[in-house]
A and B are shown apart, each in its own frame.
Chain A
Amino acid sequence: EAEVAQSPRYKITEKSQAVAFWCDPISGHATLYWYRQILGQGPELLVQFQDESVVDDSQLPKDRFSAERLKGVDSTLKIQPAELGDSAMYLCASRTDSSHSGANVLTFGAGSRLTVL
Chain B
Amino acid sequence: QVQLQESGPGLVKPSETLSLTCTVSGGSIRTYYWSWIRQPPGKGLEWIGYIFHSGSTDYNPSLKSRVTISVDTSKNQFSLKLSSVTAADTAVYYCARDEVTKRLFDIWGQGTMVTVSS
Check if A and B associate: no
Interface residues, chain A, CB within 8 Å of chain B? none
Interface residues, chain B, CB within 8 Å of chain A? none
